[in-house]
Amino acid sequence: MKLGAEPKKVVALGGLLAIAAIALYMNSSSDDSPSPAPRPAPTSVVATPPARPGSPNVVRHRTAGKVAPGEFKPRIGPKNPEDRPDPSTIDPELRLDLLAKVQKQELGPTGRNIFQFGAAPPPPAAKIEVPKNVPKIAVNNPPVTAPPPPPGPPPAPVAPPMTFKYYGYQVSKTDGHKAAFLLDGEEILIAGENDTMKRRYKVVKIGVSSITIEDTQFKSTQTLPLQENNLGA
């Protein structure tokens, strides 16, 4: 058994008894004294990863009830409870008619739909101002004339007048056939109805005072009067 260690134990035991007596005295005196002021809220210690070798250990403290920088904490409604609406007075019905009315609204040409992403409209063109002291140049515009109408179809050819002279006819007693006497210059022609003279002129009708002849080349007819007493003409 070592006696050298006994005095150290006695000294340590005496120190512990002294501390216990002081604590007991402080507790008994605190019951008689007025209540102390409230202590500040304890701070929470955020655990940090072990520091690198050679760098001091830094302990970050965050006060309870406060938002750390960079932390998002949304707040719904007013902060004062008296300003908050009564939930019993709120109409929970979804107004689809108002939603449809908003969707039917058309944006103007200068507006932009916030739900459609695209390139911004180009800026308006700069307005060029004309100097006021520039003299005006008179411009003589020629009168506008209407274009001439397109040429129509060429006129139909007209048959030349006939040179025949009708001076009489003869009726056959046997069959009643008529034969007309005509004079073309100095040439005497005798032809009946439906006969053709000079391969072009056809006798259509022989009358008492006139004769009708058709020009088969021009498909036209002419009526020649009877020439009385002009046989030698």
Cα separation, 19 vs 22, whole angstroms: 5
pLDDT by residue for the chain (233 residues), tens digit each?
A: 444 446 667 667 777 777 877 877 776 655 554 545 455 544 444 445 555 555 444 445 454 455 566 677 766 667 787 877 777 887 778 888 888 888 887 766 655 666 666 677 788 888 888 777 777 777 777 777 888 888 888 888 888 899 999 999 999 888 888 999 999 988 999 999 999 999 999 999 999 899 999 999 999 999 999 987 654 44
Domain boundaries, the chain: 165-225
Class of residue 155 by CB neighbours under 10 A (exposed 0-12, middle 13-18, buried 19+): exposed
Cα separation, 133 vs 135, whole angstroms: 6
> Contact 145/204 with Cβ under 8 angstroms?
no
Per DSSP, 8 falls in state: H
Residue 147: the pLDDT is: 86
Can you list the pairs that 226-230 forms with residues at least 24 positions away whose Cβ atoms lie under 8 Å? 226/166, 226/167, 226/168, 227/165, 227/166, 227/167, 227/183, 228/167, 230/165, 230/167
Is pTM beyond 0.75? Reply is no
Residue 189: the pLDDT is: 92
Per DSSP, 87 falls in state: G
> Contact 43/63 with Cβ under 8 angstroms?
yes
Residue 59: the pLDDT is: 46
Max alpha carbon distance in the chain (Å)?
A: 203
Residue 224 backbone phi and psi in degrees, to 5: -105, 130
Cα separation, 215 vs 159, whole angstroms: 7
Residue 222 backbone phi and psi in degrees, to 5: -135, 145
Q: Which of 169, 180, 168, 171 is nearest to 228 (CA)?
A: 168
Cα separation, 43 vs 41, whole angstroms: 6
Count of Cβ atoms closer than 10 Å to residue 21 Cβ: 10
| Residues near 222 by beta carbon (within 8 Å), at least 6 away in sequence | 159, 161, 162, 212, 213, 215
